[in-house]
Amino acid sequence: MRVDAGNKADIPEGESRLIKAGDEKVLVFHLTDGFFATQARCTHLFRSMEKGKVLEDKCVQCPLHRARFNIRTGEVEEWANFPPGVQLLNALRQEKALKTYTVVEEGERLFVEL
C-alpha cells in the first residue's frame, strides 16, 4: 500500500509529521539526508511518539518513558529509563525495534510504502 504523506516543505528538517495509513499510524521524519518513516506507536507501552523529540539527527525519543529509537533503522538505542522505577516494567516489556517504512519522493510530494 502506498500512502500520500504530503509536501516535503511541510516537514521542516529535524521534525516529523503523523500520517494515518488504514489502521496504522506512521511518523515521517525529515533528517539531513532525507525522509524516513517509522511506526508512530512506541513499542514499550504503545504511547504515540507524535510529540517525541528528534535527537542528534538520528533518534526519536518517546515522550512517556524516554525510550530512544534509531529513526533510520528502527533499532532501540536506549530502552525506557524514566521515571526511576520504570525498569521494573521493562522485565515485562522487552526491547523491540520500531517498524520502518520506505519513503518515496516524487517532485515535492512524499509517499510512504507500507
The number of angstroms, rounded, from the C-alpha of 46 to the middle of its chain's C-alpha atoms is 12
| DSSP at 43 | T
In this complex, which beta carbon is closest to ligand FES, that of residue 89 or of residue 104? 89
In this complex, which beta carbon is closest to ligand FES, that of residue 30 or of residue 65? 65
In this complex, which beta carbon is closest to ligand FES, that of residue 27 or of residue 67? 67
Q: How far is the CB of 45 from ligand FES (least distance, A)?
A: 4
Please, where are the H alpha helices in 8-66?
none
Neighbours of 72 (CB within 10 A): 16
Report which secondary-structure segment, H or E, holds 101: strand 100-106
Q: How far is the CB of 63 from ligand FES (least distance, A)?
A: 8
Question: Could you tell me if 44 and 65 are in contact, meaning their C-beta atoms sit under 8 angstroms apart?
Answer: yes
Q: How far is the CB of 62 from ligand FES (least distance, A)?
A: 3
Q: Residues interacting with ligand FES, by CB under 6 A?
A: 42, 44-45, 47, 62, 64-65, 67, 80
